[in-house]
Amino acid sequence: MGDPSARGLLDDIAYLQPHKSGLAISTDTLVEGTHFLPNDPISSVARKLVRVNLSDIISKGCIPIGVFLNIAWPNNVTTQLQKEFASALGEELGSICVGVPLLGGDTTSTNGPMVASLVILGRPYGKEPIYRSGASVGDLVFVSGDIGNALIGLNALLGKADLSKFPQSVAHYRVPELPPIAIGKLIAKYANSSIDISDGLLGDAHKMAVCSNLGIEVELNDVPISSETIHWIGDNTRLPALLELFSFGDDYQALFTISPKNLTDLVAEAKREKVYITEIGKCVKGKGLSLCFEGNNIALPSKLSHEHQFQGTI
């Protein structure tokens, strides 16, 4: 216990340095009925498993170099389902992970739901990964991609929204759309702190602020949302809808801070690499998260992050 490589268990990765080139390690687990629905296609479960782990590595300014898979199959699983899972997993490692090898792991069976866990290894593009704790007062806060699609997708799958109107959101919930892997290089080159958005934009921004011992101020109207999200908000009161969307999680985008002096270079390089990023706030004196809406300070919601609990299944 207390090994500095684990960083107090307060970051997304551990970082080992047995030699000059260190090794970043992260792991995430998917549980049927908690992180995916029982009737989700098994191929989408495999793809989601890879992506939720990859998001940790690339948000730290690292490149993936290998994975280990541990999986507990329900006793009634068929060989066909296992083949479909393996095929989709292999495709993901070969494409979105740019040819990362499966190095080992373990397979077993269970009387309960399916449980799958991936351990992913990475190497930093720079001297070290970019942690949650490196932000400075005056830094600008950026986010990649769009935020909020996962909640809409889950609601549609649970019958709480019209499934036919939100195909991209459903697709994102099942197989998260990550930023291009090239974002790892940008983060390594320009970012002072970084985190992947898995537990909700608001909750993860708060974590980064606390770890960096400062305040992060976010303008909610500047956070990028998709056309489906705009449609979902519809006639609802915009502020409560945004707070709900931004505290749900499962976005798997990168949230990071940069010095203002690097703004022009970052924006230009992101455009060349076709990495979609948006400035949404700034680092200020204080500690924790503060929110603005249309230029006015607003109170934080009672919950900044979502707890994965399904009320029944479909």
- The pLDDT tens digits of the residues spanning 81-115 come to 999 999 999 999 999 999 999 988 899 999 999 99
How far is it, in rounded angstroms, from Cα 179 to Cα 143?
10
74 to each of 29, 38, 310, how far by Cα in Å? Answer: 16, 11, 19
Closest of 254, 140, 136 to residue 201, by C-alpha:
254
Q: Does residue 17 sit in the same domain as residue 72?
A: yes
Output the domain CATH number for residue 120. 3.30.1330.10
pLDDT of the residue at 1: 43
If you compute the radius of gyration of the chain from its CA atoms, what whole number of angstroms results?
19
Q: Does residue 310 have a pLDDT over 60? A: no
Task: Provide the token pair at 235.
Answer: 């006639």
Share of the chain above pLDDT 70, in %: 91
Same domain, 208 and 162: yes
Residues 171, 88, single domain; the answer is no
Is residue 144 domain-shared with residue 281, that is, in the same domain? yes
Residues 173 and 277 occupy one common structural domain: yes
Please check whether residues 266 and 183 belong to one and the same domain. Answer: yes
Residue-range definition of the domain harbouring residue 250: 140-297
Q: Is residue 228, in this structure, part of any structural domain at all? A: yes
CA angle 81, 85, 89 (to 5 degrees): 170
Q: What is the tens place of the pLDDT at every residue in 248-272?
A: 999 999 999 999 999 999 999 999 9
pLDDT at 300 over 90: yes
CA–CA separation, 220 and 200 (whole Å): 13
> Do residue 199 and residue 111 come from a single domain?
no
262 within a domain of the structure (yes/no): yes
Q: Does 32 fall in a domain?
A: yes
From CA 196, how far away is CA 144, in angstroms rounded? 10
Assess if residue 66 is contained within a domain: yes
Distance CA 153, CA 169 (A): 4
pLDDT the model gives residue 308? 56
Same domain, 105 and 245: no
What gap in Å lies between CA 64 and CA 252, rounded to an integer? 16
In degrees to the nearest 10, what's the CA dihedral of 305, 187, 144, 41?
-70
pLDDT greater than 90 at residue 295: no
Cα–chain center distance at 99:
21
Q: State whether 148 and 277 are in the same domain.
A: yes
pLDDT mean across residues, the chain: 92
Pair 173, 290 in one domain: yes
The verdict on residue 88 lying in a domain is: yes
184-240 pLDDT tens trace: 999 999 999 999 999 999 999 999 999 999 999 999 999 999 999 999 998 668 999
Q: How far is CA 301 from CA 12, 46, 155, 243, 245, in A?
A: 24, 33, 20, 7, 12
What is the pLDDT at residue 306? Answer: 74
How many domains, the chain? 2
CATH code for the domain in which residue 282 is found: 3.90.650.10
CA dihedral of residues 102, 107, 112, 113 (deg, nearest 10): 20
